[in-house]
Chains A and B, each alone.
Chain A
């Protein structure tokens, strides 16, 4: 799997305080066909992000100056760049906290570049229409979803959705009111098989509600079908 299998070389920002990890991951990811920039701490990461926005950020949660959650929240304040957090800590609590901070996905150490590459590709995959007959423009309530343009507008305002949030919304809209199970969403949006972590879906649904619902505490559009999954209604 060398660079020429990837038509466009995507750029990654690798944030990890361990020089050997940065070095080997850069080598392996470059071999997978990515362009890799490095940052050793949160400050450098934010600076690099401003200087040259990457396609994906790989963010280690244990950083010397500030923890990965804080860095992730700061990234989210200015950017909707996809963030994959790399956790060494395996407590389930960390995973949820990282997702709440705005990460799109997570991987656990020890990881190999191949697995990481699969996750990156899943995040970068362009949103494809959920079914072929689906129109380019979907309307749900007062929301207008421009599928090819990857944009959601309410009136004249463009809602600031991350790529993952947009894809989640588009999949739910494409289901035309039918319930999608968390497993179906994991598979369609994140490219996971049966054993994907369904908490990723739950946290993203919560975040999406904060952006599209008038009252996120009692959602009217993105509703939970108890024990079954989620659906989007007008």
Chain B
């Protein structure tokens, strides 16, 4: 759009410059030639006045007698100058008999080389500034060698005309540029409207809103693009839904055998003392791994539930209470520190999801990163900032995105860090609450997970616990 304006400005400027060049040249030339003619006429009239009307010349062989006419002795040069027909010339000067005669004007204002050129027999003109006036000095030689007639013609009216022309052209160029801008804006809006729609929809799909579609399928120019875009988006949506269903179905199918195993294991553990010594340790191993397996299936169900578009339920919760309850339970001890100004902050939350966020972060610190070194709740950021510190080796900067992916394991970080779905679930649930999560380093070593949620001070579901 700006390009249109610039283009219009450029074009109209070029046009204006060319017009200016041609017209100003033409006008100046016109003025000059008319001044020349006038001056030549005056020079001739002056000459006649001095020498009388020219005699018809005799044939070439008698030319000697025709050569130098004699001046009329009764005629005064000054009278002659006065009697010249009045023209627009501002001054007339004549170099005659080695003397300057001048009615008005000062011959010394004439440039010496101009006078010299004219006295040598060539008519000449030049623009000058005399007494603050812009004039055209014109000189013509007279019949007698060495004698010359000069006039200057004021250029004020030409200057005025040119000034007017200049203003007109500049105005025209600006107006043309503005019109160009307006037309360009109109044209680009009209032409780019479908593209803007495409950008918007593509953005939405990229952000994960897979059911976004283009409306332009019937558009003559963009119909093809819109159809294939919509087709691709529909395929993607189907594939993602199928993936989610698959994960859901698999974990669903796993539930029954898992329940059999878990309950059998619980029975066995209830009767641990009755077991022969040789099998106690394998049973313990089996129990531990069964627990991890259960965790994995539960996480898979949680993720596929989200993929399946579970809306969850929102209620207003006091965020400090929630974090305290979730973190202290997950760590099995008191780990939560709440800043006084964060006590009253509330949030529209799905308690179950938010509990998973806090519990997963704390469990991650406990199980994989040397233990949870504290959970903080303070006001700030989007509303409330929740930090979970651990005592592990920290997360390398290049892994700080990856650990939030499904089964994303940091390449360079400690073994076991972020394995599985725990942090992926955390990232999803935080996003579900329109919050943000990132991982940083603690100055004293270890990693710090920072969750920001859009909390505000407000009404609470119940009295503080």
Contact = CB atoms under 8 A, between A and B. Distances in A.
Interface of A: 1-2, 18, 20-21, 23-25, 27-28, 31, 88, 90-92, 109-114, 181-184, 193-195, 197-199, 227-229
B270 A90 contact: no
A25 B259 CA distance: 9
Nearest to B309: A91
B248 to A, nearest CB: 9
Interface string B54-75: 0000000000000000000000
B270 A181 contact: no
Contacts of B99: none
Interface string B196-215: 00000000000000000000
Contacts of B257: 20
B313 interface: yes
Given A28-B264, A92-B310, 8 more contacts: A24-B259, A27-B264, A31-B267, A90-B305, A92-B313, A110-B258, A112-B263, A198-B315
A31 B265 CA distance: 12
The CB with the most chain A CB atoms within 10 A, among B262, B311, B462, is that of B462
A90 B465 contact: no
Question: Which secondary structure characterizes the binding site on chain B?
Answer: helix
B399 interface: no
Interface in B235-273: 252, 255-260, 262-264, 266-267, 270
A226 to B, nearest CB: 9
Interface stretch (B10-18, B149-157, B320-328, B373-381): B320-328
B310 A183 contact: no
Contacts of B266: 28, 112-114
Nearest to B262: A112
A184 B256 contact: no
Contacts, number: 92
A195 B352 contact: yes
Interface in B350-377: 351-352, 355
Contact of B459 (A2, A197, A227): A227
B259 A227 contact: no
Contacts of B264: 24, 27-28
B108 interface: no
B321 A227 contact: no
A110 B259 contact: yes
A62 B391 CA distance: 45
B350 to A, nearest CB: 9
A109 B253 CA distance: 11
- Chain B interface: which size bin? 35 or more
B463 to A, nearest CB: 6
Given A21-B260, A109-B259, A181-B462, A90 B310 contact: yes
Contact of B301 (A90, A92, A114): A90
B461 A227 contact: yes
B298 A229 contact: no
Contacts of A31: 267, 270
10 contacts: A20-B257, A21-B259, A21-B260, A24-B259, A31-B267, A88-B255, A110-B259, A183-B462, A193-B329, A194-B465
A25 B256 CA distance: 11
A195 B262 contact: no
B260 A20 contact: yes
A194 B325 CA distance: 7
A110 B253 CA distance: 11
